[in-house]
Amino acid sequence: MAGLLTFVSARGGAAAQRDAVADALGLLRHRGPDDERIVADDDVIFGAEHLTVAETRTTQPVTYPPAGVTAGRYMIVLDGAILNAAELRAELEEDRRAEFGAGSDAEVILAAYHHWGPGAVSRLRGMFAFVIWDSSARRAFGARDPFGLKPLFQLQTPQGVYLASEKKALLPFTQEEKSVDTKRLQYYLTMQYVPEPGTMHPEVRRLGAGETFVYTPGGPLANRRYNQLHFRPGPVDEEAVVRRIADALRESVHAHMQADAEVGAFLSSGIDSTAIVALAAEKDPNLRTFTVGYDAAGPGAQYSEIDIAEQSARALGVPLTATVVTAADFMRALPRIIWHLDDPVADPALVPLFFLAERAARDVTVVLGGDGADELFGGYPIYREPLSLSGVSHLPGSMQRGLRAVSRVIPQGVKGKSFLERGTTPIEERYYGNARIFTDEEKAALLRHYEPDVRHTDITGPVFKEAGALDDVTTMQYIDLYTWLRGDILVKADRMTMAHSLELRTPFLDRAVFDVAAGLPSELKVPPRSQETKAALRRALAGVVPEPIVHRKKLGFPVPIRPWLRGEMYDWAHGLLDTSGADDLLDLDVVRGLLRGHRKKEADHSRKIWTVLVFCVWHAVFVTGTMRPSFTGAPLEEVEPFQATEW
């Protein structure tokens, strides 16, 4: 694992920027605190902050071949872990007589690239973002894994191309570091994240998940998709597919546990993380697990999952360490959290995840998580919407238009209005992910410079076209796979764990697991005669996961911002609105009104308020510079760890 920063000069003389690149690389030290190395020549500067998770410690950048007349032709910096590196190495040694030095994952990628060309990236299993320099061809090549587990940011300037694991390392090289992309701001206010490939800084973009890039000095930076994840639902043998799910997930979990450093796991109340822990415990019965929650005596008690996680740990026989987070912790740490994020993400769950990762990193270097199960197996409650709306959505167009007209005259808040509106709206218009924060009308009132032509369909429209003739449930999964998962779930997962030099691995997001999930028909995900979700996955895990968890309703990692914004956070929220400097972009009086109404319980405006507050902190950290990230104060309260064998 590494935090990487590279510069490929457009016209030579790259070494002159070595000191500037070294300073910027230091901003990524949290991603790799074990070692730092920079290599510079006339064409390129390659820098890496290294996190050691393998016994074979290989300092990056890595070069290849190790010997011969072309020794050192290629150089690479890699952030990630290649799970099939040993198999690829054996194949290269046998078929191509490839020679290796230390045999690190990075060296295997270089050998594969040398012998198989750019197509080698399609053979990599794992999570990765890397940059290769071919000194003979004077060409840079790089890629991200198909799911987008590891990030790679790009900045092209007249001087050349910069690439980095996090955007903050590129900002010193931008021309307009303090500018804000107002188009992306509109997307954020709707979707609660900034969708890739853009960022909130107009000059910086992300290499898309499942994409490669090629850059020849002085030429264009060319990104190309090399992998497209496709759902292909169809008839299946239910018993056989259930066995395949269990087998694929078990193999993936065990493969993701490959590390010389100690491996732990996150454990919440749901089936996803519990399944990962149960399967991992087959290989390591003493697996350390970690959970997070809220004070049992405070307003957040009903949101805490600690009790359920303890029951699961007890049943599985694994030790669990629980950490309690307070409203004060949220307020204290938010600036640092936003600094790690680079762009605003208004998912409240990322804050407890930050503290969960901080605690886990004291004991382990690698941790397993359950991210991705909902997108692959149909776990979000909203995936049941096509079934609930079918009585209206399947009516002839003329009848739908009539019902739509009726919905317009029904007063806001009256039961049935939303049902008629959504049932008569095509899925391409009504669905844009799990988070739907501000409507277009609300954004028009909130934004100082509202652009009516900027809509969520700019992002989702092309994805809907790619989805083609999929059924509505699978279409929604596809939208989330290419938007929500990449823009929210995996961003918070990577940044909140790497903030503490903790490597997160996600066994659900593995190509073998996806291949099984991709073929499931919708009725094996959200059965029409049940309120259950992830039905096939639940069947596959019966006997693996404790019985009470198998059919537990999804809680979604709840966070008590609703009561906190009415109490402990109320004055703090007002203070942020007053001091962020974001009022040149937003009419913050609108938000002050939402905050007052929320406190009076006129309506639940917590998600809207939180979305603006996160942007205000981002603006104060990255634009005005009036807020400096820090993490001071007493450690979080920690529930006494237990060994499950004691129960």
Asked whether the predicted pLDDT for residue 635 surpasses 80, the reply is: no
pLDDT tens-digit map of 167-199: 999 999 999 878 899 999 999 999 999 999 999
Q: Is residue 635 part of a domain?
A: yes
Q: What is the reported pLDDT for 647?
A: 28
pLDDT tens-digit map of 447-457: 999 999 999 99
Q: Quick one: 168 and 270 in the same domain?
A: no
Q: Is residue 64 part of a domain?
A: yes
Asked whether the predicted pLDDT for residue 106 surpasses 90, the reply is: yes
Instruction: Please report, in range form, the residues annotated as the binding site for L-glutamine.
Output: 105
Q: Quick one: 458 and 543 in the same domain?
A: yes
Q: Quick one: 214 and 235 in the same domain?
A: no
Q: Quick one: 203 and 251 in the same domain?
A: no
Where is the domain boundary, 170, 191, 225?
225
Asked whether the predicted pLDDT for residue 101 surpasses 80, the reply is: yes
Q: What is the reported pLDDT for 56?
A: 54
Asked whether the predicted pLDDT for residue 69 surpasses 90, the reply is: no
Q: What is the reported pLDDT for 256?
A: 97
Region 584-599 average pLDDT: 97
Q: What is the DSSP string of 546-570?
A: -HHHHTPPP-----THHHHHHTTTH
- Dihedral over alpha carbons 398, 399, 400, 405 (to 10 degrees): 90
Q: Quick one: 125 and 249 in the same domain?
A: no
| CATH code of the domain covering residue 50 | 3.60.20.10
Number of domains in the chain: 2
- Rounded to whole angstroms, the Cα distance separating 389 from 377 reads 21
Q: Is residue 636 part of a domain?
A: yes
pLDDT band, residue 404 (cuts 50/70/90): confident
- Which range among 133-137, 240-244, 415-419 shows the weakest confidence by mean pLDDT? 415-419
**Which residue, 639, 615, 32, is CA-closest to 355?**
639
Residue of higher predicted confidence among 413 and 327: 327
Q: Quick one: 145 and 284 in the same domain?
A: no
Asked whether the predicted pLDDT for residue 640 surpasses 80, the reply is: no
Instruction: State what percent of residues in the chain have pLDDT above 90.
Output: 80
pLDDT tens-digit map of 411-439: 877 888 888 888 888 999 999 988 889 99
Widest Cα–Cα separation across the chain: 79
Region 353-380 average pLDDT: 97
- Rounded to whole angstroms, the Cα distance separating 536 from 562 reads 34
pLDDT band, residue 537 (cuts 50/70/90): very high
- Rounded to whole angstroms, the Cα distance separating 8 from 15 reads 10
Q: Is residue 424 part of a domain?
A: no
Asked whether the predicted pLDDT for residue 403 surpasses 90, the reply is: no
Q: What is the reported pLDDT for 644?
A: 45
- Which range among 163-177, 268-282, 567-581, 619-633 shows the weakest confidence by mean pLDDT? 619-633
pLDDT tens-digit map of 187-235: 999 999 999 999 999 999 999 999 999 999 989 999 999 999 999 999 9
Q: Is residue 391 part of a domain?
A: no
Q: What is the reported pLDDT for 637?
A: 54
**Which residue, 608, 372, 635, 304, is CA-closest to 512?**
372
Q: Is residue 505 part of a domain?
A: yes
| CATH code of the domain covering residue 605 | 3.40.50.620
The DSSP output letter for 489 is I
Region 132-144 average pLDDT: 98
- Which range among 5-14, 50-59, 265-274, 390-399 shows the weakest confidence by mean pLDDT? 50-59
Contacts of residues 384-391 at CB distance under 8 Å and 24 or more positions apart, as own/partner, are: 384/526, 384/531, 384/533, 385/422, 385/431, 385/476, 386/427, 386/471, 386/472, 386/473, 386/476, 387/526, 387/528, 389/419, 389/422, 389/423, 391/423
Q: Quick one: 236 and 173 in the same domain?
A: no
Tokens (6 digits) for 374: 């909902």
Q: What is the reported pLDDT for 398?
A: 84
Q: Quick one: 175 and 290 in the same domain?
A: no
Q: What is the DSSP string of 280-339?
A: HHHH-TT-EEEEEE--TTSTTGGG--HHHHHHHHHHHT--EEEEE--HHHHHHHHHHHHH
Q: Quick one: 562 and 643 in the same domain?
A: yes
Three-state secondary structure call for residue 472: helix
Kindly report whether the global pTM for this prediction surpasses the value 0.75.
Answer: yes
- Which range among 152-166, 506-520, 622-636 shows the weakest confidence by mean pLDDT? 622-636
- Rounded to whole angstroms, the Cα distance separating 496 from 490 reads 10
pLDDT band, residue 638 (cuts 50/70/90): low
Instruction: Please report, in range form, the residues annotated as the binding site.
Output: 105, 292
Instruction: Please report, in range form, the residues annotated as the binding site for ATP.
Output: 292
Domain of 325? 229-380+434-647
Asked whether the predicted pLDDT for residue 627 surpasses 50, the reply is: yes
Q: Is residue 529 part of a domain?
A: yes
Q: Quick one: 293 and 322 in the same domain?
A: yes
The verdict on whether omega for the bond into residue 61 sits within 30 degrees of 0, i.e. cis, is: yes
Q: Quick one: 113 and 80 in the same domain?
A: yes
Asked whether the predicted pLDDT for residue 606 surpasses 90, the reply is: yes
Residue of higher predicted confidence among 393 and 612: 612
pLDDT band, residue 402 (cuts 50/70/90): confident
Q: For all residues of the chain together, what is the average pLDDT? A: 92
Q: What is the reported pLDDT for 57?
A: 58
Q: Quick one: 450 and 591 in the same domain?
A: yes
Q: What is the reported pLDDT for 552?
A: 77
Pairing of strands 35-40, 44-50: antiparallel
Tokens (6 digits) for 641: 């760890």
Q: What is the reported pLDDT for 311?
A: 93
Q: Is residue 488 part of a domain?
A: yes
